[in-house]
Structure 1
């Protein structure tokens, strides 16, 4: 699917999710800008990752280029570097921590104006660590995608030279963001997952600090792309300190990073506060 199409999908998802929140015009404008900043940062870091991997692939001779074992070693070696670990973790922190603070402070202010939100909030730091823990899984997914693509190229080439060229072409295409783990589709997936998790995580913390919210109700997003497990969870009510039961996962909020991948990737659900 074209880059413009993915951008439109992202915008539609943003609109649907934001429509489900009770925001003033000013709050919504800030939130939309934070969403865009987060997505832009993820796009930037994925582009840099793709370039670094391609440069490593170009340094291999023909014999190594057609050895899937050696290619795997290169992938692992590159992913152990600063760009795939420290810089990616920092990018996630920089992009999504402000969103957590905004969501939490907005809810707290509405519910209990006597309480003050602090940007030094320990809950925000704990949540950032949860997001960072997703990075190894993301890198593992990137490695698996590239390995399968390289295996296919090696299998399709008739001669060693042709196989080596095909491997380099796969690497070059991935670097350009046309397909694979460094594409716009990938960036949208990562950004959407992080944004939903962060906004909902911040909301829940705001509710806890308000000391007036006792429970929470799951609100599934509408449309054909909503998962069956999430549609089934729609309307489910839990105490504020207890998880929702969604599929095979226990989720404290929609997008909870501690949940199973199939329940949090590109989740667009939100929740509603419950008070006695």
Structure 2
């Protein structure tokens, strides 16, 4: 059946509007950071490239889990699942029920889990040139003579980053799947396992449908993380002695980041942000809730502590 031309035009127009909205969102996100105009362009390009790299990689991972989920219907977990449903007849205590739900959750997750082996390299291949460009830009800002080891440092950082980010993203994805499975099991004890697995399938399909949004969040977080890390190490090498935390100042700033605004510490020290020690915004040592899509920035200075 052919689509009516007018309907097709409306679909195209809607797609174009959605793309423009997403592009504007990225630009707005980058514009809020404390970087110079040239570095903002680099950041925007990196975010867009990371998003394009992450989305198909995540989608392939989710689809691989869907395929394994289908084979799980033949797995001998059915009898075990039925034993949990006995709670309807009050044959299990709440503690026993909880334990069995947790055990079945782990069984299902272990069976369907597929690790994403490609996303670390895909992101690091984009992050490395961004890191190098920001590093050299920061050297120029702080001290034009401090550029000699920039490339070597960028290569070393990229290698560490590639291994770390793959682990971080796989861990967060696995936790997301585990939570999804647990909630479905907990809320549908009376259903037979086949129907429960269908509910899990529906939720993973929703993850696939929302993959671009997650890819965008990852891209924004990781691009800023790479840039902030480069600038931090450039400041140390250039002899900066202190750093001051700044927020963008709009209503999207986290309350605890707003509380850190203006906080100044020695260059090798850490800011206290939401009871965590962060060397700079997006510090990979921080919890996800403290660094994801963070737009805060640092003012590095040489000399006495401000204030």
**TM above 0.5:** yes
Partners of 1:243 and 1:131 in 2: CA distance: 24
- How many residue pairs get aligned? The number is 259
Tell me: CA distance 1:269–1:127, structure 2 relative to 1, closer, same or farther (3 Å).
farther
Name the Cα RMSD after superposition: 2.8
- Runs (4+) of structure 1 exceeding 6 A deviation are none
Partners of 2:254 and 2:226 in 1: CA distance: 20
Residue number among 41, 56, 62 corresponding to 2:53 in the alignment? 41
Aligned residue number for residue 146 of structure 1: 177
Residues 62 and 160 of structure 1 are in contact (CA less than 8 Å); yes or no, is this contact kept in structure 2? no
Partners of 2:244 and 2:215 in 1: CA distance: 29
Residues 189 and 266 of structure 1 are in contact (CA less than 8 Å); yes or no, is this contact kept in structure 2? yes
Residues 135 and 150 of structure 2 are in contact (CA less than 8 Å); yes or no, is this contact kept in structure 1? no
Q: Tell me which structure has the larger Cα radius of gyration.
A: 2
Residues 104 and 203 of structure 1 are in contact (CA less than 8 Å); yes or no, is this contact kept in structure 2? yes
Partners of 2:268 and 2:155 in 1: CA distance: 17
Aligned residue number for residue 72 of structure 1: 109
Aligned residue number for residue 293 of structure 2: 266
Structure 2 residue 32 is the aligned partner of structure 1 residue 16? yes
Tell me: CA distance 1:130–1:236, structure 2 relative to 1, closer, same or farther (3 Å).
farther
Partners of 1:48 and 1:63 in 2: CA distance: 23
TM-score, structure 2 as length reference: 0.73
SS in 2 for 1:121: helix
Cα-to-partner distance string for 1:82-119 (whole Å, 9 max, x where unaligned): xx2x4222123112122211111101012222232445
SS in 2 for 1:133: helix
> 1:131-170 alignment to 2 at 5 Å?
132-154=163-185, 155-156=187-188, 158-170=191-203
Partners of 2:23 and 2:119 in 1: CA distance: 22
Aligned residue number for residue 213 of structure 2: 185
SS in 2 for 1:257: coil
Unaligned runs of 5+ in 2: 1-14, 82-103
Aligned residue number for residue 89 of structure 1: 120
Cα-to-partner distance string for 1:121-147 (whole Å, 9 max, x where unaligned): 336524652574354343233223223
